[in-house]
Amino acid sequence: MTRPRTFTVAAVLMLLFCLISIVVETPNLMLGLAAETQYNGDGPPFVLSLLNVVTGAMGLVAAVGVWRMQKWAVVLTIVLAALNILTSLPAVIFAPTFGLKLGGMLGVVWAAAIIALLLWPQPKSHPVAGQAQ
């Protein structure tokens, strides 16, 4: 069975999204609750940093599963991408700087693209006339 191109792109996007999320959020996680005061009290809540690292780790597993065309991985990836949209939306609305708002918007669009790629209808293969089945 061949892997659809949309699944390949979605798996790569999910892998990159999760790696970036883990790398960006790990310093906030290491600071603990003090990360909230990093930007004069306008930093990301500790719960969001923790949630982003956990969903990032789960997303790495899901991306490998999507690469291998596992149905459970497609469902898990869609759920994690939806969760990533929900955790990125506060940055779009409440972030103190334009750079952080832009990062939140990028997170929302990136996760929405992953969902769209996984839900994209796959073409049905039709037998060619004259071939034995």
| pLDDT, mean of residues 22-34 | 80
pLDDT for 35 beyond 70: no
Non-local (6+) Cβ contacts of 13 within 8 A are 110, 113, 114, 117
Can you give the residue ranges of every domain in the chain? 5-119
- Which tokens go with 76? 């898990």
Q: What is the pLDDT of residue 114?
A: 96
pLDDT bin (cut points 50, 70, 90) of residue 30 is confident
| pLDDT, mean of residues 72-96 | 91
pTM of the model: 0.81
- The 3 state secondary structure assigned to 114-129 is HHHHHHCCCCCCCCCC
pLDDT for 131 beyond 60: no
